[in-house]
Amino acid sequence: MSLHVDSLVKSYASADGRIEVLGGVSFSLAAGETLALTGESGSGKSTLLAVLSGLEPFDSGSVNVAGTELSGLDDAGCAALRRGTIGIVFQQFNLIPSLNVGDNIAFQARLAGDYDAAWTADLTERLGLTDQIAKYPEQLSGGQQQRVAIGRTLALRPAVLLADEPTGNLDEDTSLRVLDLMLELSDVAGAALLMVTHSTQLAGRLSRRAHLSHGTLS
Number of structural domains in the chain: 1
Share of the chain above pLDDT 90, in %: 72
- The answer to whether 162 and 86 are in contact (CB under 8 A) is yes
**Residue 96 pLDDT > 90:** yes
**Residue 6 pLDDT > 90:** yes
- Whether residue 66 is contained in a domain is answered as no
How far apart are alpha carbons 172 and 122 in whole angstroms? 26
**Residue 83 pLDDT > 90:** no
Q: Looking at the DSSP assignment, which residues form a beta bridge with residue 182?
A: none
**Residue 168 pLDDT > 90:** no
CATH number at residue 211: 3.40.50.300
**Residue 15 pLDDT > 90:** no
- The answer to whether 165 and 91 are in contact (CB under 8 A) is yes
- Whether residue 3 is contained in a domain is answered as no
- Specify the pLDDT at position 174: 83
**Cα dihedral 167/173/174/175 (nearest 10):** 20
One-letter identity of residue 116: D
Range name among 23-27, 57-61, 109-113 with the lowest pLDDT average: 109-113
